[in-house]
Every structure is written in structure tokens, then in C-alpha cells.
Structure 1
Amino acid sequence: MTRETAIPRALLPRRLGQLYTGLVLYGVSMGLMLRADLGLEPWSVLNQGISRHTGLTIGTVTIVSGALILLLWIPLRQRPGLGTVSNVVILGVVMDATLALVPELHALGARIPLLAFAVILNGSATGLYISARFGPGPRDGLMTGLHLRTGRPVRLVRTCIEVTVLAVGFALGGSLGAGTVVYALTIGPLAQFFLRRFAIKGLSEPPSQVVARGGASTERAILQK
């Protein structure tokens, strides 16, 4: 019996609610970071750079890149879950919708608080959707898959991936700035806090306990820097 089948069915509505609420809020946070215009998280830097050269919206690029990354799971023998597939579609759609609804800001006094709110929202969204236990997003799964296949430390794998993504994205014209640094320094602690806050009682092994205990898990690997 797998861990997933051991999860009580009575928890399914709560888990689905957390999954989709988390993914929607994650997409909103990505759009708000772009509107703050103070630097993006690594993958959005890459997606923005590609968007500027293709004419596609950044949300569309996010969807396409997520699907392409998911193909890399095949040789890594990673198995996608409901959360993985939902992640591919929802983030890009919600990001574009957020950009359509939120106007561009010019005053630094408005952009700095917006960045802070977006990063906190991203951390809470991460806690929500990971705690639902429906599988990692395509980019997180790529990291954990490479870790398992190569035996290299998670932090090294994550650093190599994100440095490469940042470099390519910046070369393509993606926004690299103070917001990128703020995100890198704060997203781990924020996500750990919200993992504990949104942990669902009754699951066999709450993500917050996995992170605190330091055991090997997808949730822990995603949060390691």
C-alpha cells in the first residue's frame, strides 16, 4: 500500500481545497511580483525572458515550460500527481489573469509593499499546496528527480538548476533584482512556517514534521536551499 492510498478518503475535500487554493494564490503571487517590477524568482526570470522573445504571454510560457519540464521526468522515473498536472495549467492561467487585472505601478512606495506581500503570499501558497500531498510541481520534481538519480546533494542540485535558469533568463532580458534576492532568502523559512500552519491532521506524515525532522522527502527537498 502506498502512502497516497493510505490517506483517509474523508480528508479528500480538505486536500483538494488546499491544493487548488494554493495553486491559485501561487499564480497570483507570481503576477504581483511581476507588477512590483523589483526582480522575479528564478523560473519567472526565465519565463519572462522567453516571453519577450516569442511574443507569448508570460503565463503561456509558464504553462509550456512546465509541460516541457514534465517530459524530463520520464528518464528520471518521476511520477506526476494531480497537483503536478494542475500546477502546469493553473499557475500560468492565473498569472496572466492577475496581470490583466492589476495595473502597472510606478511609485517605489507602492512597489516595495507589493513585493513583500507577493513573497509572503507565495510562501503561504507553497504551504497550502504542498500540505495537500498531491505531488510536487514540475520544476520541484525535476530537482528531486536529479537528486535521486545522481546522488548529488539537494542543495547542490537546486543551486545549479536555479543559477542556470537565472543566467539564461537574465541573458534573455528577464527581470533580476532585489526582489530575486529577497525571494531566495525568505521563501524557505516562509514555506516551512506555512507548512506547519496548514498541515492536515490525519495524514500519515505531515510535511511540517518531515521538514523539522530532516527526513528524506519531496517536501523537505523542495524547501532545502
Structure 2
Amino acid sequence: MARTHLSFLTPREQLHAGRLPRRLAQLAFGLSLYGLSMAVMIRSQLGLAPWDVLHSGLTQRLPLTFGQITIVVGALVLVLWMPLRQWPGLGTVANVVVIGLATDASLALIPEPSALAPRGALLLGGIVLNGLAGGLYIGSQLGPGPRDGLMTGFARRTGWSFRLVRTGIEISVLGIGWLLGGVVGVGTVVYALSIGPLVHFFLPRVTVALDQPAVASEKGSTASAPA
């Protein structure tokens, strides 16, 4: 299958790159699906993604729901963009709000099973949905999520590799979340090993081709963190 390149565009260019109704619909669906996938993994009680371990730990300390914590953390991460000279797009702002709301709505509807088999099915299904959702919202080309932008901005300013920066950030948030009492388990390991290949598989299949020439193209797929 031919590789579909992502374009690095300014917020203004993102809105004028064509096919906007299709891209907005895909963004909304992808972010909602991402929130659903997070809720599914939470209900499995078998371990969470590194950022969600942090969110889970914070829910033990603050009188906020999981989705509300996700929104607050996303907003705080956006503040960290300022010294990195990153500019959020429409998709970035939507990422902060929609995923948190979708997570809380999904948690209200999904029961928590007690048997191991359905919990395992929830975990695996949630991880696959998360990979698809990440591909959908990244592929809408309306701006990175706040956590993705933190990684790319920090890598650009320091000259360090994306892999090194992403690994350092995720190990840090995982460690902080674990110390706060966040849920760490086999699902954390499975997610870490599989999310990159899953997004790599889905992203070129769901990326919306832009009508105008790309300002600059990314020479490969970048896996998402949440949000």
C-alpha cells in the first residue's frame, strides 16, 4: 500500500487545506472513539497506557472524574507548549475536551466485568480501538494532540530524537502515575508494545489527503500518546 504522508501545517493552513467537512467529521469520530477505547481499557482493570496511569493516579488524589482529569492534564500540557513555540490547531483544542467527555460518558455505560476472560477481551479490544482512533484523529490533519505536540516540540528544540524524547516522557509520566496509585499491569506492557505498530497500520489507511501541496511531509507514521 502506498504511504500517505502527514503534512506539518500552521493552524491557518490546516483550515484551508481542503476537504474540511470530511476532516472535521473524522476528527470528531476519532476523538470520541479514543475516549471510548480509554474507558474500555479502564474497565478491564488489567493496566493502562502510561498517560492514563498518570490520570488514574490523579483520580486517587483529586475529587475529579477520570475524564475531567484528562481534560485538566491536557490543558496543562498545552501550557508547556509555550516555551517550545508550538501552536495548537483546532484538533489540538478538541483533543483536550472531547476525549475527556467521551471517556466519562463511556465509563457511565460500560460495566466492569469480574471474570478474567471478558476483562482480557476488553483490554485487547480497547488497545485496537485506541490504535484506530489515534490514526483517525491524527489522519484528519487538524493538529496534534497536546501530548504528541509536547514530544515533537521538545525534540525540535533540543535536537534529540523523537524516540528518545517520547520514551523519556512516557517513562516519567508512568513513574509519577504509579507513585500516585495509578493502575499498572500487563495491559500497560501490551499497550506499549502494540500501539506503535497499530497506529502505523491504521494511519496510512485513514489519513485524509489534502487538496493543496503539503508544506512539509513527515517521512513516516508517528504513534500517538492520548491524547
Give yes or no for TM over 0.5.
yes
Q: 2:188 aligns with which of 180, 186, 189?
A: 180
- Where does structure 1 lack aligned partners over 5 or more consecutive residues? none
How far did 1:202 drift? 4.0
Q: 1:68 aligns with which of 76, 81, 95?
A: 76
1:57 paired with 2:65, answer yes
- Where does structure 2 lack aligned partners over 5 or more consecutive residues? 1-7
Instruction: Specify whether residues 121 and 21 from structure 1 end up closer, same or farther in structure 2 by C-alpha distance, changes over 3 A only.
Output: same
**1:196-222 per-position Cα deviation (integer Å, ceiling 9, x unaligned):** 1112234545x9x84xx44xxxx5375
1:41 paired with 2:49, answer yes
Q: Corresponding residue for 1:19?
A: 27
1:141 paired with 2:141, answer no
In 2, the alpha carbon distance for the partners of 1:76 and 1:65 equals: 17
- Provide the alpha-carbon RMSD of the alignment: 2.1
In 1, the alpha carbon distance for the partners of 2:150 and 2:14 equals: 25
Q: 1:109 aligns with which of 117, 123, 140?
A: 117
Instruction: Specify whether residues 9 and 166 from structure 1 end up closer, same or farther in structure 2 by C-alpha distance, changes over 3 A only.
Output: closer
- What's the TM-score once normalised by structure 1's chain length? 0.89
Contact 1:144-1:221 at 8 Å conserved across structures: no
Q: 1:199 aligns with which of 174, 198, 207?
A: 207
| Structure with the higher helix share, 1 or 2 | 1
In 2, the alpha carbon distance for the partners of 1:144 and 1:11 equals: 25
**1:66-116 per-position Cα deviation (integer Å, ceiling 9, x unaligned):** 101100101110000000000000111111111111111111010101111
**1:98-151 per-position Cα deviation (integer Å, ceiling 9, x unaligned):** 111111111101010111110000010011111110110111111111101111
In 1, the alpha carbon distance for the partners of 2:165 and 2:25 equals: 31
In 1, the alpha carbon distance for the partners of 2:19 and 2:127 equals: 28
1:30 paired with 2:32, answer no
Contact 2:14-2:143 at 8 Å conserved across structures: no
Contact 1:154-1:221 at 8 Å conserved across structures: no
The DSSP-based 3-state class of the residue aligned with 1:61 is helix
Letter in 2 for 1:190: L
Contact 2:134-2:224 at 8 Å conserved across structures: no
- What's the TM-score once normalised by structure 2's chain length? 0.88
Q: Corresponding residue for 1:120?
A: 128
Q: Give the number of equivalent residue pairs.
A: 214
**1:39-69 per-position Cα deviation (integer Å, ceiling 9, x unaligned):** 0001110011011111211111100011011
Contact 1:131-1:195 at 8 Å conserved across structures: yes
Instruction: Specify whether residues 153 and 12 from structure 1 end up closer, same or farther in structure 2 by C-alpha distance, changes over 3 A only.
Output: same
Query: Pairwise mapping of residues 147-186 of structure 1 onto structure 2 (< 5 A)?
Result: 147-186=155-194
**% identical aligned pairs:** 54
Contact 2:18-2:210 at 8 Å conserved across structures: no
